Amino acid sequence: MSFDFLCKTILVGASGVGKTSLIQRYIDDIFIPEKDSTIGIDYKTKDVEIEDSTFRLQIWDTAGQEKFHISLSSSIYKNTNVLIVVFDLTNKETVNSLEYYFTEIENNCRKNPLIVLVGNKCDLIENQIENVEEKVKQISNEKEFKLFKTSAKERTNVNELFYYIAKTIKENP
Protein backbone atom coordinates (compact mmCIF):
# COMPACT_ATOMS: atom_id res chain seq x y z
CA MET A 1 0.00 0.00 0.00
CA SER A 2 1.22 3.44 -0.76
CA PHE A 3 0.97 6.59 1.24
CA ASP A 4 1.46 10.31 0.70
CA PHE A 5 2.96 11.29 4.05
CA LEU A 6 5.06 9.38 6.57
CA CYS A 7 5.07 10.62 10.14
CA LYS A 8 7.35 9.18 12.79
CA THR A 9 5.84 9.53 16.24
CA ILE A 10 7.37 8.46 19.56
CA LEU A 11 5.64 8.02 22.89
CA VAL A 12 7.75 8.87 25.91
CA GLY A 13 6.85 9.20 29.58
CA ALA A 14 7.29 7.53 32.93
CA SER A 15 6.82 3.81 33.36
CA GLY A 16 3.21 2.77 33.87
CA VAL A 17 1.52 5.87 32.45
CA GLY A 18 -0.05 3.86 29.64
CA LYS A 19 2.12 4.36 26.56
CA THR A 20 1.87 0.77 25.36
CA SER A 21 -1.84 0.68 26.22
CA LEU A 22 -2.52 3.80 24.14
CA ILE A 23 -0.82 2.29 21.11
CA GLN A 24 -2.63 -1.03 21.53
CA ARG A 25 -5.95 0.76 21.87
CA TYR A 26 -5.34 2.88 18.79
CA ILE A 27 -3.92 0.16 16.54
CA ASP A 28 -5.70 -3.02 17.64
CA ASP A 29 -8.55 -1.58 19.70
CA ILE A 30 -7.75 -3.74 22.71
CA PHE A 31 -6.98 -3.06 26.36
CA ILE A 32 -5.05 -5.43 28.60
CA PRO A 33 -5.68 -4.48 32.25
CA GLU A 34 -2.72 -6.05 34.02
CA LYS A 35 0.51 -6.26 32.22
CA ASP A 36 4.21 -5.96 32.70
CA SER A 37 4.98 -2.37 31.84
CA THR A 38 8.51 -3.18 30.80
CA ILE A 39 7.14 -5.07 27.82
CA GLY A 40 7.02 -2.64 24.97
CA ILE A 41 6.48 -2.85 21.29
CA ASP A 42 8.90 -1.41 18.77
CA TYR A 43 6.58 0.42 16.49
CA LYS A 44 3.29 -0.01 14.72
CA THR A 45 1.90 1.74 11.71
CA LYS A 46 -1.55 2.94 10.83
CA ASP A 47 -2.79 4.74 7.77
CA VAL A 48 -5.07 7.69 8.31
CA GLU A 49 -7.09 9.18 5.48
CA ILE A 50 -7.17 12.95 5.60
CA GLU A 51 -9.13 14.62 2.89
CA ASP A 52 -7.78 12.90 -0.22
CA SER A 53 -4.39 11.80 1.03
CA THR A 54 -3.11 8.82 2.96
CA PHE A 55 -1.09 9.60 6.01
CA ARG A 56 1.05 6.82 7.44
CA LEU A 57 1.64 7.13 11.17
CA GLN A 58 4.64 5.17 12.40
CA ILE A 59 4.18 5.02 16.17
CA TRP A 60 7.14 4.08 18.36
CA ASP A 61 6.84 2.81 21.89
CA THR A 62 9.55 3.20 24.53
CA ALA A 63 9.93 1.10 27.65
CA GLY A 64 12.10 0.31 30.58
CA GLN A 65 14.82 2.86 30.26
CA GLU A 66 12.89 5.62 32.01
CA LYS A 67 12.94 3.68 35.29
CA PHE A 68 16.68 4.03 35.44
CA HIS A 69 16.78 7.43 33.80
CA ILE A 70 18.93 6.05 31.07
CA SER A 71 18.58 8.33 28.11
CA LEU A 72 16.97 6.91 25.05
CA SER A 73 19.66 6.60 22.46
CA SER A 74 19.61 9.66 20.29
CA SER A 75 19.12 7.41 17.27
CA ILE A 76 15.53 6.68 18.22
CA TYR A 77 14.84 10.40 18.04
CA LYS A 78 16.26 10.62 14.56
CA ASN A 79 13.84 11.95 11.97
CA THR A 80 11.11 12.21 14.53
CA ASN A 81 8.18 14.40 13.57
CA VAL A 82 6.10 14.07 16.70
CA LEU A 83 6.66 13.36 20.38
CA ILE A 84 3.77 12.32 22.53
CA VAL A 85 4.75 12.98 26.13
CA VAL A 86 2.52 10.92 28.36
CA PHE A 87 1.78 11.26 32.07
CA ASP A 88 -0.79 9.70 34.38
CA LEU A 89 -3.62 12.00 35.47
CA THR A 90 -3.73 10.17 38.81
CA ASN A 91 -0.01 10.24 39.59
CA LYS A 92 1.64 13.55 40.45
CA GLU A 93 5.13 12.15 40.14
CA THR A 94 4.55 11.45 36.49
CA VAL A 95 3.64 15.11 35.97
CA ASN A 96 6.88 16.14 37.67
CA SER A 97 8.79 13.77 35.39
CA LEU A 98 7.67 15.77 32.35
CA GLU A 99 10.59 18.11 32.88
CA TYR A 100 13.00 15.25 32.35
CA TYR A 101 11.39 14.34 29.05
CA PHE A 102 11.35 17.92 27.82
CA THR A 103 15.11 18.10 28.46
CA GLU A 104 15.60 14.77 26.69
CA ILE A 105 13.73 16.04 23.66
CA GLU A 106 15.61 19.31 23.61
CA ASN A 107 18.95 17.53 23.79
CA ASN A 108 18.22 14.83 21.24
CA CYS A 109 15.84 16.12 18.61
CA ARG A 110 17.52 18.15 15.93
CA LYS A 111 14.53 19.43 14.13
CA ASN A 112 11.66 21.17 15.87
CA PRO A 113 9.24 18.34 16.46
CA LEU A 114 5.57 18.65 17.26
CA ILE A 115 5.12 17.95 20.97
CA VAL A 116 1.76 16.80 22.25
CA LEU A 117 1.02 16.18 25.91
CA VAL A 118 -1.20 13.35 26.98
CA GLY A 119 -2.69 12.92 30.44
CA ASN A 120 -3.86 9.31 30.43
CA LYS A 121 -6.25 7.39 32.73
CA CYS A 122 -9.02 10.01 32.71
CA ASP A 123 -11.41 7.16 33.49
CA LEU A 124 -10.10 6.99 37.07
CA ILE A 125 -12.29 9.91 38.07
CA GLU A 126 -11.83 9.65 41.81
CA ASN A 127 -8.06 9.98 41.83
CA GLN A 128 -7.50 12.82 39.38
CA ILE A 129 -4.80 15.39 40.22
CA GLU A 130 -6.34 18.80 40.89
CA ASN A 131 -5.56 21.74 38.59
CA VAL A 132 -3.51 19.51 36.37
CA GLU A 133 -3.55 22.01 33.50
CA GLU A 134 -1.89 24.62 35.73
CA LYS A 135 0.77 22.20 36.94
CA VAL A 136 1.56 21.06 33.44
CA LYS A 137 1.80 24.64 32.24
CA GLN A 138 4.32 25.50 34.94
CA ILE A 139 6.49 22.55 34.06
CA SER A 140 6.26 23.36 30.36
CA ASN A 141 7.78 26.81 31.02
CA GLU A 142 4.56 28.35 29.80
CA LYS A 143 5.01 26.78 26.39
CA GLU A 144 1.65 26.09 24.87
CA PHE A 145 1.48 22.40 24.19
CA LYS A 146 -1.73 20.81 23.15
CA LEU A 147 -3.00 18.61 26.00
CA PHE A 148 -5.24 15.60 25.49
CA LYS A 149 -6.87 13.81 28.40
CA THR A 150 -7.24 10.21 27.34
CA SER A 151 -8.26 6.81 28.53
CA ALA A 152 -6.72 3.82 26.82
CA LYS A 153 -9.12 1.76 28.88
CA GLU A 154 -12.30 3.46 27.74
CA ARG A 155 -11.04 4.69 24.37
CA THR A 156 -11.54 8.35 25.30
CA ASN A 157 -9.76 10.78 22.95
CA VAL A 158 -7.43 8.12 21.55
CA ASN A 159 -8.50 8.42 17.92
CA GLU A 160 -8.80 12.17 18.37
CA LEU A 161 -5.19 12.37 19.56
CA PHE A 162 -3.75 10.60 16.54
CA TYR A 163 -6.04 12.34 14.10
CA TYR A 164 -4.93 15.71 15.50
CA ILE A 165 -1.31 14.68 14.97
CA ALA A 166 -1.84 13.55 11.40
CA LYS A 167 -3.78 16.67 10.52
CA THR A 168 -1.28 19.03 12.16
CA ILE A 169 1.69 17.44 10.43
CA LYS A 170 -0.13 17.43 7.14
CA GLU A 171 -0.79 21.14 7.44
CA ASN A 172 2.73 21.97 8.69
CA PRO A 173 4.99 19.22 7.38
How many residues in the shown chain lie near Mg ion by CB under 5 A?
A: 4
Helix ranges (DSSP H) in 84-143: 92-96, 98-108, 132-139
Residue 165, φ and ψ in degrees, nearest 5:
-60, -50
Nearest residue to Mg ion, using CB? 20
Does 67 interact with ligand GDP (rule: CB under 6 A)? no
By the rule CB under 6 A, 16 interacts with ligand GDP: yes
Q: Is residue 9 at the binding interface for ligand GDP, with CB under 6 A as the rule?
A: no
Binding mask 144-173 for ligand GDP (x = CB under 6 A): -------xxx--------------------
DSSP bridge pairs for 106: none
Assign 3-class secondary structure to 45-88: EEEEEECCEEEEEEEECCCCHHHHCCCCCHHHHCCCCEEEEEEE
- Given the rule CB under 6 A, which residues bind ligand GDP? 15-21, 33-35, 37, 63, 120-121, 123-124, 151-153
